[in-house]
Amino acid sequence: MRIARRLGTDLPGLTRKVADKRPYPPGQHGQGRQRFSEFKKQLYEKQKLRFNYGIGERQLRNLFTEAQRSKDPAGLVLLRFLEQRLDNVVFRLGLAPTIPAARQLVVHGHFMVDGRKVDRPSYRVAPGQEITVRPKSRDNQSIQESVANPSLRLPGYLSFDSKTLTGRCLSLPGREDVPVQVAENLVVEYYSPRL
């Protein structure tokens, strides 16, 4: 909650909690007037992505470098890469309450992609691939609870069958599928002079 309050927005991938009671930054001077320089705005937008998707600075920088090589806008491609991560796809399918919980389930080997066990949270799910819960893991209590009470609505680029616990990536994610409020152009402005 401290991170969400400091950045001034809800981070659905990080926590299910909402900062409605205290919508100001934490700390003794949180309710004072905040000054935002251009650098601070750019930094906060970048940090929203880092904390929501639970990745390190080096990972995000490497993803941005790869996104810059694309012909499409770098900000959109970066968001697309983050949405295609296996831990995020598991979370968006409703198989885990948060992305950190989804990451733990992936690392422990509870999921298969196209019939093959994958235990790398950074695995990039491509359109047409099928994500299933391994037969031994179907009775996992946390997976069952998450399916019964999903955090977010299912995005348009994914389909999910709750009976077989099988999801499919239908297409590349679009800008409207990103659940966190972020200005990706500021992230591009942050990284461009630093790479």
Give one DSSP letter per residue of 44-104, joined into a string: HHHHHHHHHHT--HHHHHHHHHHHHTSSS-HHHHHHHHHHTBHHHHHHHTTSSSSHHHHHH
* β-strand pairing of 130-133 with 166-169: antiparallel
Specify the fold of 2-81+180-194.
Answer: Ribosomal Protein S4 Delta 41; Chain A, domain 1 (1.10.1050)
pTM: 0.84
Using an 8 Å Cβ cutoff, are 146 and 154 in contact?
no
Return the half-sphere exposure (C-beta side, CA atoms, 13 A cut-off) of residue 150. Answer: 14
DSSP H or E segment with residue 187: helix 184-191
Domain locations in the chain as residue ranges? 2-81+180-194, 85-171
Cα(10)–Cα(5) distance, integer angstroms: 8
| Residue 25: DSSP 8-state | -
Specify the pLDDT at position 66: 93
Q: Which CATH architecture has domain 85-171?
A: Roll (3.10)
Q: What is the largest CA-CA distance in the chain?
A: 54
Please give the single-letter amino acid code of residue 101.
A
SS3 state at 150 = coil
Cα(190)–Cα(186) distance, integer angstroms: 6
Dihedral sign computed on CA atoms, order 100, 103, 105, 108:
negative
Instruction: pLDDT tens for the chain, 195 residues: list them.
Output: 566 666 667 666 566 566 566 666 666 555 656 777 888 888 888 988 888 888 999 999 999 999 999 899 999 999 999 999 999 999 989 898 888 899 999 999 999 999 999 999 999 999 999 999 999 988 889 889 888 888 788 888 999 998 888 999 999 998 888 888 888 899 899 888 877
| Residue 151: DSSP 8-state | S
Please give the single-letter amino acid code of residue 19.
A
Q: Would you give the end-to-end CA distance of the chain in angstroms?
A: 31
SS3 state at 53 = helix
